[in-house]
Amino acid sequence: CVHTENCFVPTSEIIAVEETELNKKQHNTGKWQKMAKPHAFTVYYVKKARNHRWRCSDVTFWCVDEHLCNQWIQALKELLEMQKSRPKQLLVYINPYGGKRQGKRIYEQKVAPLFSLASISTDVVITEHANHAKDNLFEVNINKYDGVVCVGGDGMFSEVMHGLIGRMQKDSGIDQNNPKAPLVQCNIRIGSTDCICYSTVGISDPVTSALHIIVGDCQPLDVSSVHHNNTFLKYSVSLLGYGFYGDILKDSEKKRWMGPMRYDYSGFKTFLSHHYYEGTISFQPAKHTPGSPRDKDSCRTGCYICKKSGQQLAEQHKEYGLKHE
């Protein structure tokens, strides 16, 4: 661990270590250092805030001995190299119309500098039309990448998910139209925004998502496939809508020019249509014991609430049914 003021930072949450320029002001006081032949290095690390928000912070260490300074830098970099789950090469898809047409700017100003700081190489693709990312994933050499990053909404995540899973099945000779065919697991991780971010890291924030990607966090997601008459239709994660919800999404797609307001408009319009829906749902009960807030399965979010005292934690468990480490 590295000691930073009043806390300890585990090496798993260190983003990068860099030698610091000698004429740089000291980080904490803002005063010029008066040391004989000073040498310094800066440790960039994850600072966790409330509401699951993460930020990049830093602390600078000053040494008179240049050899000692270099030893620390080398030792910390070797520890970072031991973090095998961290990505080295990422494929980034940016929807220029996402985030109210701010997706490209947000990536370049908030995310790309963090990837560069963490020495992560990126290949960036600006999507030009629907299914551009999906089609591209069937062509690129995906084995050279540790993960794929989506800059956009849930639609971009859906494209990448279908492209990656479809590519894996194709390369493995699996017929996606066969509902009983076992799917080959995709080992390439995906980082995204919106609904997927809320369900994995607890907040839709580009900096928080980028930092989770940098430190190699991974949250497994179950994927289900949808078939009709032995024909593959879609893959689904997080949620699957039918009937009223499906009609809203179908109608709202024609009004993307309205922005987020299209969902309110389409929802009101669909509600006034007074459609009703019929369907049959069948499922297979889980064979294992259902989860419980009192079991030993740890929560992986690393949220602020996990750090509360035992009594507060017990109250949260009782109120929300959460599982924490």
Does a structural domain hold residue 227?
Answer: no
Check if 251 is active-site.
no
256-314 per-position pLDDT tens digit:
788 778 889 999 998 888 788 888 877 777 777 666 656 656 555 444 444 443 444 44
Of 129-133, 134-138, 241-245, 319-323, the range with the lowest mean pLDDT is 319-323
Cα separation, 60 vs 55, whole angstroms? 17
pLDDT at 5 over 50: yes
Does a structural domain hold residue 203?
Answer: yes
Contact 83, 17 (CB under 8 A): no
Cα separation, 287 vs 41, whole angstroms? 53
Average pLDDT of the residues of the chain: 81
Does a structural domain hold residue 312?
Answer: no
Q: What is the CATH number of the domain that holds 217?
A: 3.40.50.10330
Determine the pLDDT at residue 263. 85
Residues 6+ apart with CB under 8 A from 316: 305, 308, 322, 324
Question: Which domain does 147 fall in, by range?
Answer: 89-222
Cα separation, 309 vs 316, whole angstroms? 11
Determine the pLDDT at residue 238. 73
Cα separation, 182 vs 185, whole angstroms? 9
17 and 98 share a domain? no
Percent with pLDDT over 90 in the chain: 39
Angle at Cα 156 formed by Cα 153 and Cα 160, nearest 5°? Answer: 145
69 and 99 share a domain? no
Residue entry with tokens 């693709």: 125
Q: How many structural domains is the chain composed of?
A: 2
205 and 101 share a domain? yes
Determine the pLDDT at residue 306. 45
Active-site pick, 154, 205, 217, 247: 154
34-51 per-position pLDDT tens digit:
444 578 999 999 998 888
The pTM score is 0.76
Contact 167, 137 (CB under 8 A): yes
73-114 per-position pLDDT tens digit:
999 999 999 998 999 999 999 998 876 788 899 999 999 999
Concatenating the DSSP letter of every residue in 68-123 gives HHHHHHHHHHHHHHT-TTS-SEEEEEE-TTHHHHTHHHHIIIIIHHHHHHTT-EEE
108-132 per-position pLDDT tens digit:
999 999 999 999 999 999 999 989 9
Query: Does 279 or 140 have the greater pLDDT score?
Result: 140
C-alpha pair distances (Å), 127 with each of 44, 80, 150, 234: 32, 33, 11, 21
Determine the pLDDT at residue 241. 78
140 and 69 share a domain? no
104 and 74 share a domain? no
